[in-house]
Structure formats: structure tokens, C-alpha cells
Amino acid sequence: MEKNKVLIILLISFLGIESILKLNVYLIIILMTCVFTFLWYEDSNMTEKKTLKKNQKLMNERNISSKEAYLKQKQLNIIVESIPFPIVLLDIYGKIVLCNEACSLVRNLTMQEMTYIQNDFDEQIQEFMKDCYILEENMEKMMTIKNVEYRAVSIPVTTKGKFSGCMVMLQDISKVLEGEKMQKVFIADASHELKTPVSVIKGMVEILNREDFNDEVTRKDFMKQIEAETKRLENIVSDLLQLSKLSVNPILNRCKVDIHPLIDETVLSFTNVMKEKNIQLVKDYKFNDTVFCDFDKMLQVITNLISNAIKYSDCGTIRITTESDDKYFILKIQDEGVGMSKEDCDKIFERFYRADKDRSRKSGGSGLGLSIVKSIIDAHQGIIEVESELNVGSIFTIKLKN
Ligand code: ADP
């Protein structure tokens, strides 16, 4: 365009010079008018083009910002949807403007039937949302909806310092409450377990300290019992410490362990008790490799299982088998002792659970041995199973990945 303009000006200038030379005044006037008209037209054309360009730029900018806003809205929706607990956003009029899929947990309609209406929410939430909207402040309330415990929290939303709605969230706290309940039960059980031997010891010491007490046979018997109860206390405390260590720090010190010498050494420490009870031992070692495990913790597992097999047998045979399949190293400890019912088998790994209370008590058991075994095997990502039949015997099986 600029080239054309220059050519036209050059042509007009040439004609103008020629007219001046020939002194043609009329032609000069006509030519001058043409030049001015052309220049004015070009100028106005340019202004129009500039305005058009500016408008186009503005429109592009507007398109980009509306695209950005759309993307941001989409991102926000995705975030809100992916939050696993119910979340609702109310506007300045108290109407729902946003709620995620998890809200279906606290609404009466199905997901397909749901709209942004308020009155199908559980009544407690409706009340809570109303209060949050009216009071315009942070609020918190516990509620039970469809047998689930929730902590409802509201946060007021402000724009330029003015209330513009509020956000209501419902946090499922059933697991937290369950954990707290379990902790309370555990503390109560532990206190009870510790209290029993302490009470026995205290009672006997009081009797022994009486000024008129002079019964030598009873004194000897009491002293034996005090010794046994002290041992029991010691066992409970050391098992509790071990369990707490395992739950706080279940880090393993794994290495390749030659498992058979480890079993042999453990069995050796029980030789006297086994002789006393006339218990035979059969070793059936088919495994011929090392096991990748924590040596000390594995020693603890084997000790607890062999000790139980002896404790809960009056005679018979204890068979220890090692084998492997394509996935696991397998250790089986089988006894012909008192055995357990199916219901007991499901519970024996719980802390302080005892199927045979009398025997456990007499042998100074803490009721924590199998919980410790289970925690250790879990830390190894292994499997522990039990098969048992009353008055027939039990088989404890441990599987550790090869
Ligand atoms: P305890 O100190 O009472 O032995 P454990 O946690 O080691 O605690 O075992 C829990 C309960 O499981 C025991 O009280 C006992 O009733 C049962 N039990 C464990 N091992 C055997 C077994 N080999 N035969 C029969 N019962 C067993």
C-alpha cells in the first residue's frame, strides 16, 4: 500500500511540475485538490484500520481471559469433585452454587436425581448450613448421618471484606473415633492386666507383714506366688514395650538368615520344659536356602510360637517344618495340644485375647505374644495363619516372600 501511495504522489508531482512549467493554473488547482483528497482518504482509512486492529486485539484478550476463567472453573470443579468428603459452597443468598459427588453420602436423592437444591440434604446439615449462612462465622458441629460420624465445619467466604457466602465441609471421623476407642480399650486392658498381679502381690505382702503371722508353709507358698506374679508383670511390661516399639518404628534390619540354626538354637532353650512334659520334637527341614528377614525379630517369632506350642500341650509331639513354594518360604509349627475353637482362632492375634485363660495365667502369659508375632510378620509383609481343633492340636503357618 505504501508503495502505491509513493507512485501516485510521484505521478501527481510530475504532472504538477509539467503544469507549472506550462503555467496551466487550472490544472495546478485540480491536481492540488486531488492530492489533498487522496491524502485525507488515506489518513481516515488508516485511522479506521487502527481502530479495527485495536478492537480485534481487545476481542482476542477478552476471549483469552474468558477461556482462562473457563479453565480455572473447570480446574476448581475437578478439585472439588476429587475431594473424598462432602463439600458445599453457598452463595450470598444461602443458595448452593457448588457441591461435589461425595455429597451423595449425606443426601436423600440418588446421584441422577440430584440438583443444586438444598432440601434433600440430611436435616442436620440443612440446619447447619442455615446457621452458617445467618451467623456468617466459622462453625463446627459433630453429627451422625447414616451411621457415619461426621465433623461439619463451615468457613465464611469474603470478597473485598464483605461476606459473600460460605463453604461447608463434612469430615468422616469414624475411623479416628474408632482408633480412639481402641486406644481406650487397650489402656483399660493393659491397666487391668497390670493391676491383677500387683493386687495379688500387695495382698500377700500385707499378710506376710502382719505381726502375728508365723505360718512357715504359707510363707513359702506366698513367696513362690509373689515370684510368679513378679515374673508375669515383667513379661507384660516387656511385651508392651516391644509392641509399642513395633507400632512406632516397624523398621526391619533385613539380611540373609540361615533359618535352621536359628530354629535349633531356640528349641535348645526349651529342652528342659519339653523333657518335663514328655514332649517329642520332630524337625522336617525341606528348605535349603536363606531367608531374607530381620534376624532378631524372626528369633522372637520362632520363640513365641514354640513357647506356645509347649505351653498349650501336656504331651505329644511338636513338628517343625520348613519348605518353600515358588513365592514363599514356609514355616509350620504343629502341636498336639489343647487346640482352639474356630471363634478363638479368629481372635488370638488381638492384644490380651486368651482362649485358655487359666493355662495362660498359670504359665505367666501376657496375652501379647501372638500380637507381637503378627506385628513382626506384617512388617515383613508376610502371612500368618492358624488351623486348630479343640483337644487335637494347632498348626501355626508363617509365609515370608522368597
Ligand atoms: P499368651 O501369653 O496368653 O500365651 P499369646 O498371645 O501368645 O498369649 O496367645 C494368645 C492365646 O492364644 C493364648 O492365651 C492361647 O489361648 C491361644 N494359643 C496360642 N498358641 C496356642 C497353641 N499352640 N495351642 C492352643 N492355644 C494357643
**Structure confidence by residue, pLDDT tens digits, 133-169:** 889 999 999 999 888 999 999 999 998 889 999 999 9
Strand partners, 323: 330
| pLDDT of 122 strictly over 70 | yes
Cβ burial, residue 21 (10 Å; 0-12/13-18/19+)? exposed
Q: What is the pLDDT of residue 74?
A: 85
Q: How far apart are CA 33 and CA 19, in angstroms?
A: 14
Q: What atom of ligand 1 comes closest to residue 356's alpha carbon?
A: 16
The overall pTM is greater than 0.95? no
For the chain, give the percent of residues with pLDDT over 70: 92
Q: Which of 313, 370, 391 to mutate to test the pocket of ligand 1 (most atoms within 8 A of CB)?
A: 370
Q: What is the pLDDT of residue 69?
A: 85
Which residues have CB under 6 Å of ligand 1? 308-309, 312, 335, 337-340, 348, 353-356, 360, 365-371, 394
| pLDDT of 49 strictly over 90 | no
Q: Is 45 helix (H, G, I), strand (E, B) or coil?
A: helix
| pLDDT of 63 strictly over 60 | yes
Q: Is 401 helix (H, G, I), strand (E, B) or coil?
A: strand
- Whether 222 and 207 have beta carbons less than 8 Å apart is answered as yes
Q: How far apart are CA 309 and CA 336, in angstroms?
A: 8
Q: What is the pLDDT of residue 109?
A: 61
Q: Confidence class of residue 5 from pLDDT cuts 50, 70 and 90? A: low
Q: What is the pLDDT of residue 97?
A: 85
Question: Of all protein residues, whose CA lies closest to atom 2 belonging to ligand 1?
Answer: 365
Of 45-59, 166-180, 357-371, the range with the lowest mean pLDDT is 45-59
For residue 102, the Cα-to-chain-centroid distance in whole angstroms is 18
| pLDDT of 219 strictly over 60 | yes
Q: What is the pLDDT of residue 28?
A: 73
Residue 168 — φ and ψ, nearest 5°?
-120, 125
CA distances, 11 to each of 18, 35, 42, 166, 298 (Å): 11, 11, 17, 74, 106
What angle (nearest 5°) sits at the alpha carbon of residue 66, between those of residues 63 and 70?
135
| pLDDT of 179 strictly over 70 | yes
Question: Of all protein residues, whose CA lies closest to atom 25 belonging to ligand 1?
Answer: 339
Tally: H helices and E strands in the chain:
11, 12
Q: Is 117 helix (H, G, I), strand (E, B) or coil?
A: coil
Q: What is the pLDDT of residue 60?
A: 82
| pLDDT of 367 strictly over 70 | yes
Count Cα neighbours of 87 within 13 Å in the Cβ-side half-sphere.
14
The H or E element that residue 180 is part of is: helix 174-208
Q: What is the pLDDT of residue 117?
A: 54
In 271-336, the DSSP E strands lie at 279-285, 291-294, 316-324, 328-335
Q: What is the pLDDT of residue 3?
A: 61
Q: What is the pLDDT of residue 151?
A: 94
Q: What is the pLDDT of residue 29?
A: 79
Q: What is the pLDDT of residue 204?
A: 95
